[in-house]
Structure 1
């Protein structure tokens, strides 16, 4: 059994709780050895520190053992995962992409876009490889595209990249869910 599951929704919509519950179900249902949690959050302010701590406490209080891997931008730590025996939950792609933008912000515009595309290409390649190798992968991301265009070009670049990435993920996903007020809508 291999699959790619996409879970999106607004901030505080319940997507992380849904994803964790679903990952645990898949872990038990398919008798996987490992349950991985890829965390991309960086505690840059008090709100993010609180959110990271809450997510850590939720996993620690769980009846299953989560193997947490932190991936802020570079995918190197993902190579340690044995996908055939694993359920992999990545929370969240939105934060990962913002980390990539932050990491590349000192480059000139052309060089930056080339570097960002390299990161995106590596991400896509890794996701496809995990599923080809029998992994069950759940990706969580925020839905920010309902907002009007920003007066800041950086925000609009981020939204464009995220929208294109979401389309790619949804296309390759076996299942796609949208969360709204802790209610789940399955699109695929």
Structure 2
């Protein structure tokens, strides 16, 4: 049975650094065969481009070899990964969901909701299939639900989807952490 670890926190909270450190530690301690990094961030501006480059450089300079799978432009799920005897770090679920909303925005409202739901169902099925294997999966996401409701319907729809997804993931997780100012709080 796989171990699922959920890590959330605000922007610049230290969650990615914590997740990478924890993934490498588990990879070494448990003598796993593969270490995967699923990247879903999109360089929409200069700051995000610099952050992505920093994460890439950190992995390149690591003493441990990461196998990176990029899913920014096409948020199809990385179904070809077998978590058996692997450690998988996905950074991050928040940007993956943002990418889904972006690529479906041209659809009529009902068709869009159905398409988004298809992605979410596929994601949940993938997590369930991963959980049946002997791997370790670390899922990183952003905590945006502490903010007040937006005056924009799209932002509130996104918050609702993300909140429901977080609850679902935590329910199936073995561990759940929240980062704040590089400090870790374990909730599960």
TM-score by length of 2: 0.97
Report the Cα offset of residue 112 of structure 1: 0.6
State how 1:153-172 maps to structure 2 within 5 Å.
Answer: 153-172=153-172
**CA–CA distance in structure 1, aligned partners of residues 123 and 70 of structure 2:** 15
**CA–CA distance in structure 2, aligned partners of residues 169 and 80 of structure 1:** 21
**CA–CA distance in structure 1, aligned partners of residues 40 and 59 of structure 2:** 15
Report the Cα offset of residue 56 of structure 1: 0.4
**Which residue of structure 1 aligns with residue 76 of structure 2?**
74
SS of 1:79's equivalent in the other structure is coil
**Which residue of structure 2 aligns with residue 118 of structure 1?**
118
**CA–CA distance in structure 1, aligned partners of residues 80 and 161 of structure 2:** 27
* Root mean square deviation of aligned Cα: 0.9
SS of 1:38's equivalent in the other structure is strand
Report the Cα offset of residue 91 of structure 1: 0.2
Structure 1 segments, 4+ long, off by >2 Å, are none
**CA–CA distance in structure 2, aligned partners of residues 128 and 57 of structure 1:** 31
**Which residue of structure 1 aligns with residue 22 of structure 2?**
22
**Which residue of structure 2 aligns with residue 129 of structure 1?**
129
**Which residue of structure 1 aligns with residue 8 of structure 2?**
8
Residues paired across the two proteins, number: 186
Report the Cα offset of residue 80 of structure 1: 2.4
Report the Cα offset of residue 31 of structure 1: 0.8
Unaligned runs of at least 5 residues, structure 1: none
TM-score by length of 1: 0.97
Unaligned runs of at least 5 residues, structure 2: none
